[in-house]
């Protein structure tokens, strides 16, 4: 009997790493008995042999265990042999992965001389025209047979030559056949992969890695959990899993999205090889990969025999029911608390770093979309406050205040509940996760209606341990809101956004969505950057939208314009907009598909030419890349979504 996917399985928080088969790509072994393998993809023209070889060597020197190279046509696939030979002559033995879209003959050629081939089921034997097709059973079976005829020759070549194969499903490029029956959904992604796995297993070929990529981390997490469940139930074993958030973007946004998608799965025990898809040079992806792996405890765990998967849709995270106090808890959006406790003095300029800009001429505050809801300071502020801002201060300082308007005390749990004065509005109480359930259970009903719990996550309290400690609280009637406080580990300041995401995202995905309190470390990250990280985590988990979102692919040999500079130009012109999704894609491989999750799309259609999309429909073709940002702004204005920058 199949398991009910609507039930949360016990012991998932303590899961060991999912046991997966051993796969061999050249001399590299991939699977649950081996370390998490790191990989990236070249951005050079594959026909430029010297440039591609140089970039592969730089990636290998930066720590890549595998390097992927695009082969959009037969000539490119053929040139992979020259690239492979020149790398070996330069003593670079990193396995090469041929990346194939649309061209089975290129895959069949490349499989004869590279260590691994990646194919996308959505465009290897399918088509993407955004058509809804009605199939009867016979016509659907006919299409499946056509898929087999296209895919089986590649499987046989890989089997003959000892070449590994990645079945790489992309949410943005599912075939019309799959979406007509399953929708553009995680179940459709799983079925797309399983069709190819069934064919390979019929041919007794098992040297396979599978991926379920999406630009939406929540879709990605659900798709992998569904795939694991299906492989366990149908096949009786699991293939190694390649993790990645496709088109993650750049900067902190790309790192946060990647840490949410990849990191959450690693912490759940899922994942054997990872690639961080950043709109940055490929060698820059490797330090981010390493930072993600070291921030997630389960990445180093030994394999278990079987992993019990999470319920379908768990990444969407049904919110834990809590009281509403002011704008915290209940059905309110998550709040952000900015920690100013290390800043002395706190001035009007300081508040500018957390979203409040003071205009002396008008004596007014300008409030951004990413303005903190509360700030924590050691002492009262010496100037008039923005009306929307709440100030949290230590209980001892609060007790000495005359005018307590907008000020709220922070207690240690040992202080709170004694005979001393407390606020009649809201009291923030710091309590360890391990004691939170017992502490809350001991509060009176009146106290619960005036208490916000602050739970610290640090080196001694991993997210899994925190979840284990606070899980019993869900049974408490009138549960106070819960805010999580985290200071990035000083050892991980090379990637503070990843450290913060590792500590908090899994809690959010498990339904704890009342608020974040990130503490800027003494060195390495500014108040402004930490504030942006907090809002970035909430936006990437779809719990609070505070700005524009960018779905930006990494460069590869198919890219038709400079993605990095273009992304910077588009971001500079549109970052002030709230809730707009803009996709910036180098070519048509995943472009139109990812447009379905974006409001507007910007897709390379030829050298120096861009096609603009609204949703998945092209509305401007072959616009010069010199004028395209202005044309994009015009489209946004036509849709009624434009606002002038503040």
Residue numbering of the annotated binding site for [4Fe-4S] cluster: 553, 556, 587, 594
Nearest CA among 532, 599, 593 for reference residue 570: 599
CA 49, 54, 59, 61: dihedral to nearest 10 degrees? 140
At 81, list the tokens: 């042999």
Nearest CA among 464, 529, 467, 465 for reference residue 498: 529
Residues forming a β-bridge with 325: 328
Alpha-helical regions (H) of 101-185:
104-110, 121-124, 137-161, 176-182
At 532, list the tokens: 């942006």
Nearest CA among 56, 129, 137, 126 for reference residue 89: 56
**Exposed, middle or buried, 570 (CB in 10 Å: 0-12/13-18/19+)?**
buried
**Residues 6 or more apart whose Cβ sits within 8 Å of residue 626:** none
Report how far apart, in Å, the C-alpha atoms of 564 and of each of 59, 342, 370 are.
18, 35, 24
DSSP conformational letter for 304: P
The binding site comprises 553, 556, 587, 594
Contact at 8 Å (CB) between 367 and 388? yes
At 572, list the tokens: 């500079």
Q: 């606002």: which residue's tokens?
A: 643
Rounded CA separation 395/411 (Å): 5
């Amino acid at each position: 009997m199949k398991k009910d996917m609507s039930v949360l399985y016990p012991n998932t928080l303590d899961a060991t790493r999912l046991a997966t088969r051993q796969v061999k790509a050249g001399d590299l072994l991939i699977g649950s008995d081996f370390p998490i393998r790191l990989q990236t993809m070249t951005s050079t023209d594959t026909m430029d042999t010297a440039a591609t070889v140089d970039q592969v060597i730089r990636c290998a020197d930066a720590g890549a265990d595998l390097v992927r190279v695009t082969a959009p046509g037969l000539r490119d696939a053929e040139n992979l042999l020259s690239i492979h030979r020149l790398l070996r002559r330069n003593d670079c033995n990193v396995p090469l992965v041929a990346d194939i879209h649309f061209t089975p003959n290129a895959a069949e050629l490349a499989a004869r001389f590279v260590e691994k081939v990646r194919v996308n089921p959505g465009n290897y034997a399918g088509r993407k025209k955004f058509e809804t097709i009605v199939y009867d059973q016979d016509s659907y079976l006919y299409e499946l047979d056509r898929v087999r005829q296209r895919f089986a020759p590649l499987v046989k070549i890989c089997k003959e030559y000892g070449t590994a194969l990645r079945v790489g499903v992309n949410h943005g490029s599912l075939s019309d056949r799959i979406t007509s029956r399953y929708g553009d959904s995680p179940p459709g992604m799983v079925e797309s992969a399983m069709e190819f796995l069934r064919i390979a297993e019929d041919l007794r070929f098992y040297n396979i890695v599978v991926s379920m990529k999406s630009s939406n981390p929540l879709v990605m997490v659900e798709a992998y959990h569904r795939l694991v469940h299906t492989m366990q139930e149908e096949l009786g074993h699991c293939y190694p899993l390649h993790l990645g958030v496709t088109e993650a973007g750049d900067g902190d946004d790309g790192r946060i999205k990647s840490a949410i998608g990849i990191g959450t799965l690693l912490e759940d025990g899922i994942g054997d090889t990872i690639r961080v898809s950043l709109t940055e040079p490929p060698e820059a992806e490797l330090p981010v990969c390493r930072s993600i792996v070291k921030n997630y405890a389960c990445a180093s765990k030994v394999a278990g025999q079987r992993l019990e998967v999470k319920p379908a849709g768990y990444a969407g995270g049904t919110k834990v029911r809590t009281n509403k106090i002011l704008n915290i808890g209940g059905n309110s959006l998550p709040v952000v608390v900015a920690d100013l406790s290390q800043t002395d003095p706190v001035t009007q300029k300081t508040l500018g770093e957390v979203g409040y800009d003071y205009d002396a001429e008008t004596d007014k505050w300008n409030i951004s979309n990413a303005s903190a809801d509360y700030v924590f300071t050691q002492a009262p502020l010496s100037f008039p406050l923005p009306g929307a801002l709440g100030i949290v201060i230590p209980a001892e300082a609060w007790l000495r205040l005359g005018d307590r308007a907008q000020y709220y005390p922070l207690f240690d749990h040992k202080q709170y509940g004694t005979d001393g004065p407390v606020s009649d509005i809201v009291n923030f109480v710091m309590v360890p996760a391990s004691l939170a359930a017992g502490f809350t259970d001991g509060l009176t009903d009146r106290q619960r209606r005036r208490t916000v719990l602050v739970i610290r996550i640090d080196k001694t309290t991993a997210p899994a341990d925190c979840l284990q400690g606070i899980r019993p609280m869900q049974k408490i009637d009138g549960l106070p809101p819960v805010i999580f406080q985290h200071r990035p580990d000083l050892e991980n300041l090379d990637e503070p956004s990843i450290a913060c995401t590792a500590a908090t995202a899994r809690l959010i995905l498990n339904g704890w969505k009342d608020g974040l309190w990130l503490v800027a470390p003494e060195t390495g990250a500014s108040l402004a950057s930490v504030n942006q990280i907090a809002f970035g985590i909430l936006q990437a988990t779809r719990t609070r939208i505070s700005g524009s979102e960018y779905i930006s692919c990494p460069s590869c040999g198919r890219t038709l314009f400079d993605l990095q500079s273009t992304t910077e130009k588009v971001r500079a012109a549109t970052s002030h907009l709230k809730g707009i999704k803009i996709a910036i894609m180098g070519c048509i491989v995943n472009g139109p598909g990812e447009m379905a999750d974006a409001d507007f799309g910007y897709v390379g259609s030829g050298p120096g030419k861009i096609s603009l999309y609204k949703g998945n429909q092209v509305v401007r073709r072959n616009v010069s890349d010199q004028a395209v940002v202005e044309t994009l702004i015009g489209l946004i204005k036509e849709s009624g979504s434009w606002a002038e920058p503040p």
